[in-house]
Every structure is written in C-alpha cells, then in structure tokens.
Structure 1
Amino acid sequence: MTSTQPTAKKHQKAKGLKPGKPRPAKDLCSECGLCDTHFIHYVKQACAFLNQQFQRLETLSHGRDRNLDNDDELYFGVHHSMMMARKKEPLPGAQWTGIVSTIACEMLERGLVEGVVCVQNSPEDRFQPQPILARTPEEVLAARVNKPTLSPNLSILEEVEQSGMKRVLAIGVGCQIQALREVEAHLGLEKLYVLGTPCVDNVTRQGLQTFLETTSKSPDTVVHYEFMQDFNVHFRHEDGSVEKVPFFGLNTKKLKDVFAPSCLSCFDYVNGLADLVVGYMGATFGWQWIVVRNQKGQEMLDVVQDQLHTQPVISKGDRHKAVQQSIPAYDKGIALPMWAARLMGIAINKIGPKGLEYARFSIDSHFVRNYLYVMRNYPEKLSQHVPAFAKRIVGQYDLPES
C-alpha cells in the first residue's frame, strides 16, 4: 500500500556549532538556535540577518504577501481579523491573562498537536531561557511569562524531527519564526501551527541585568516586565506589586548599547509570519491584541474563543508628531528628569495615540531607530535588509543625515 502521509523533504545536514563558536551572522546573530542544529546547513537562506526573505516567506506562510496600500496590512501584516481579548478567568501566574498558554494547553488536550515548542526558565535563573518540546499541559504551564532575553528556541528542531510527532505547535518571536518557516518543510510534520508574540528590544542576560539595575528600584525581585500602552515600563515584583517607570525617564545613554544588535536591525515587530499573534501593542490598556493571519490561526483561536471576552480594536489619536519629536531622543540618548518624564507620560496617556494608533507609534519609533542603526553600522546591508513595508513606514519621517 502506498502511504499518503507527507514526508519531509530530503535535506542536507551539517554539524551544529558548539556553544561559544562564532555564528554566521556574527554580531547580528539573534541566537535563535538554528545554528545549534544540523539545520545550520540552511542558515544562509534562513537567517533573517544574512538574507532577508520576508516577502517570499509571507507568501509561503499565508498564500500572499501584505498589501502595502492597505494601512492596516502595511503595519500589521497579512490578516483576516484583529480583536482585543482577555480571558474570562485569568490563568494564575501568567504574564497577562494567559491566552497563549491556554491555547497551547487546549491544543495538546484536544489532540490537535502532540508537542509544543516553548521556553521554560532554567532551574538556576528565572530569566535564563530553556527551550523545550512540551508534551503535557504541565510542561506548557511551566513556560508561563515572557522571557526578555535572546532565546535559542530552534535549538530543539532536531528533537522535533526525531520525535516522530506529526502535529506540532511552535511559540516564538519574529526572528525565530522566519528561520523556522525556511526549514519547516524538512521537519517531517503533517501540520505546524505557529503562535507568535510581537517582539522588540531583547537583550543578552547581562544586558537584562544592566537594564534592571538601571531602571528598577528593586532589580533582584522583578518577575517580569513590559513596555505598556500607558507609556510606562511595568515591573511586576515577587510580592505582586507593580512598579511603573515612564518611558521618557529611562536612562537612554546607559541603555543605548544594552539591546542586541539583531533587535536593533529587526523590522518584524508584529511577527508577520506567525499564523496567530497574541500581544498587547494594538489593544487598549488591560486587553490583549489578537491577529488572525490565516486558517491555522483561526483554528488556534477557536479552541479558546468561549473562554475570552472580546471587543473590536480601536484606533485614536495621531502618532506622527510624537514620533518625529522622539527621533532626537532615540538618536542622541536624551533623557528627562523623572518628574518631567512622569508629567509627560500622564499628558501623552490622556491625549496620545490609543489602540492601533499606539501600535503604529511604537512601530514607527522603532523602525526609524533601527533604520538609522543599520544605515550607520551596516550600510552595505541597508537596501536588501530593510523590507519594502519598513522602507515605506520610515519614509514618512525626516531623518538625520548621518
């Protein structure tokens, strides 16, 4: 009898690199983990920082690339629906209400997938990522809370390939997902679901420590943090308290070199190649932003739909002036006194951009900063590395000449 099961494309293998060995992308390596495996053979094509292939991979993932003349798609990528949501019964210990963890658990419990690629903490360090191929809901729940450090999620691709699993859910950020899409056909899977989170400004573990010590009053008790829509960084501490530090009061001179070069040259803030994206950036405060990009994304959302409160996305305000004024602050490391930063944060929170317009504000600000970073540090890469949608977004603003 002839098997009708799909088989993995034959692929060539190369020996994965040992820890500490230089990576092909050099300083721009995002440590996604691909080079730790025999899939390193495909790194020249798969690595977003060696060979940007975003338009082709969008078509591969969603059947088409984004429409640059549609403002929502220009910014947020291919999608057929967006909404704001939160769980009716929040998941204890989750960073927000636990939508991502709940989707992964439900997919396992219903037999829709056999394993979930996710990231737990190492036993020694709550901020040190430890990728796993989770086989039980308990293992998924142990991966609750975002990890703000560079994480080698793809280091377990060989385990996925050798597991015999045919249906897998992978949770990851943009650079990881770009590489994963390039090697997806070689994994021997019948179905791969990709659940993404928006991502910007990750750091090395040492960089994280510098950020915490520079920004928080109690760096040793921080459990997690996020840059939120009220223009404050929210630090949640072990005792449950929340410390808020205004964006405009960050010590940008000390922090300017903290963020990874890969993050400073990334233009996939919204995780445009994932099937479903769950984050906060396009939602109002207290809600999560959900972007359904294709049918597999809808299948994932369907498993938790009855557990969610939902409402339509909104868009209020005008970001352009705020973005243009922020360029010198990003560029020259200007920081306000804390009292002035708090007042500015309060004012902008009242009259500033909300919902999708806040998301556009954040995208514009980071894309401009990153464009300048690539232009100054990797000018030979600028033309090919920056996707067409990012060039159009950055083109709205007056940039410093050098």
Structure 2
Amino acid sequence: MQRIIQLLSIAALIFFSACSSDKKTAHTHAEQVNYTCPMHPQVVQHGPGTCPICGMDLVPVNTGGGAQELMLDQNQMALANISTMVIGAGNLDQYKRLNGRLVTDPQRTAYVSSRAAGRIEQLYVKETGVAVRKGQPLYRIYAEQLAALQQEYLVATAQTAAFPDNARFQQIEAAARQKLLLYDVPAATLDRIKQQQKTDPYLTYTSPVNGVVAAVSVTEGQYVGEGSTILQLEDYDQLWVEADVYPAELSQVKTGQQVKVTVSGWENEPVDMQIDFITPALQSGTQLAQLRGVIRNRDHRWQPGLQANILLPAASRSNVLTLPVDAVIRDGKGAHVWIKKGADHFAPRVVKTGTETADQVEITTGLQSGDTVVVTGAYLLYSEYVLKKGANPLATHAH
C-alpha cells in the first residue's frame, strides 16, 4: 500500500511539472517574434532568414497584437520602393480639369498637288509615316502641257538671242519663264533647258516643307489631273490641344488665358499653354463648347490622338499641410498615412483630409510640420499590416 502511494505521488509531481512546462512554453511562443516575407506572407518562421520563394530578407513582425508598427531594414525599403518626405506648410494650388486631346495643327499641314495633268512616272516616297525634308524629291511626272510651255520658252529665248536689243522679245521670254515658274518648275531646270535648247517632259517635284507623310493619294503610272492631291504632309513640331467645355464653365475661361496641360503618360511634366480660341457655339448634337491652344512637341514625343487634360486655375491657398495623393490610404473606415519612426519602424496614423487636387491633398488633422511621412510604398505597408496583424490599421489605431 505504501508503495502504491509513493508511485502516485511521483506521477502527480511529473504531471504538474509537465503542465507548468507547457504553460511556460506556450507563454514563450506567445511572446515570440515571427518572421515573414513582405512579398509572400504565407512564408512564416520563428527566426530571421530569407524567403525560399523570392530570396528577400524576412521581416520581423510581432503577431501577438502588441505595438502597431512594422519594421523593415534598408534593403527591404529599397525593394519596396518606400520613400518619405518631411511634411511642412506650403501653398495648395487648385485646378479644374478639362478633358482634351492632341490633334494635328491644320496650319502646319501641306497638300502636295499636281501642277499639271499628266502621268506619275515615279514616286520617291510611297509610305505614310516617312519623314521628309524641304527640297527632297517626292515624285516625277510626265506632263505634255509643261513640255509645250517649255517649247514656247525655247522659242522666246531664241528670239531674244537673235534680236538682243528688242525689248518686246525680252518681255515675251520673261513671261514664258514666269509661266513655268508658276507651275513650280525649278529655276535650275529652266536654266538647264535654255542651255541645252531641249525640252524635258519629265519633271521632278520636291517637298515644299519639312514634315511627315500622312497620306499617299496616287500610285506610279496613274494619270492625274491638274490640282490632284499627290501627298499630304504634316508637321508635328507643334500640336493643337482641344478640350471640351460645358456651358457653365465658359465663364471661367477666356482667350489669352494661361493654363497648364498634362498629356497622358507624361502627367508629371505639365506644359504651359495659352488659350487661343473658344468656339462661339456649342458643337452639334452635344452641349459642349471647345477651347483650343498650341503646345510645342519636343522631339516629336507626342502623337495626335493622345489624351490630354487642361488644368484651369481655380483657387490658391497658403500655409496648409499637403501630401501627394498616393500617400493617403483610404477605405470605408477613414483615411490614414504611414509615419516613419527612427531608421526602420513605420506606424499608421489616422488623418483627416480637406481640399484635394489632381496630385495633392490637404491634411487638416493628424499631422504636424516636421513629421516624416511615407509618400511611396504606403499601400505595401498597409497590406503588410493587414496580413501580419490581422486587422485594419484604423480599427486598432489609438486616436
């Protein structure tokens, strides 16, 4: 009997010791910091290391619900493209945005037409989109009408040579030469014809301007009439900007007004433009008017048809705290930003916003001058917080 009592006592001691050990172990694990991958949250381990999927250094995160902060080292911040700025009071310029587009300036469009009826013997430019320079050969034409005018010119030059003192013959020669010049026959060609005393029914015409071939209207061997369009050339050194304006907005714009233009894909490079024209009547079938201006097209980087926005100055405020729009995270619970604390800690902070423009937003409460705020990569921090903490930053943040 005594032996049985001793065995039971030993078993009880072992049981309570085991329970105490399990409690300590559970408590230790509860306080333990887990490490996970910023890009692959399914990777979790109880110590530092690298992600087996992408090789990134694992981020230490306390999932026990303690401090509302995330910690990233310098490499992780670089990979996540996280940048910050120190917020301070400044000006907030408000703009009203009008939808527009880039179009070809018709004043810089040239139509190359046939000066006489004839047959297109050769096209030197056969494709659209080809850039041509002023004076570059475009087409060669056979024209009997021009050959007849050349013959008249040769007769007049012969008469002048036979009677050099006859003013009448000199006038006839000058008139015959001028007639050919009006048909755009080059002066050098006329000098050659006069020297050789031989007509040339095949004439080559050159480009009158610099431009890009927008349309080719004929083919080789085709007969064309006088005035028929051969090519259409467009100069893209400058473009029109057309924007739609509602009748209620017409009072806010006027001819000569300076505005800013942003082109789709180059939103960070606004250009200045002057409003040159406002349509006096609404467009047929719409309730819209149009305004128009001209912008320079450096290096031909923009093409007609691209979307553009006209930014009309609306108002300006001074001494306000502003942030880039992407720095503010919004959801159904409100808005917050991420504050950098020290070298590698980030914490969410609830804010209230005020006036907002296309790229800036006013912060009315929640921040003060001197705070270091995350301006790029804020959404990544927000996602990491939700995944690692299992809660929305606004749901647990202390106000």
Range into which the TM-score falls when normalised by the shorter chain: under 0.3
Please tell me whether Structure 1 or Structure 2 has the larger radius of gyration of its CA atoms: 2
Kindly indicate whether structure 1 or structure 2 has the higher relative contact order, using CA contacts under 8 Å at least 6 residues apart: 2
Q: Which has the higher helix share?
A: 1
TM-score (normalised: structure 1): 0.17
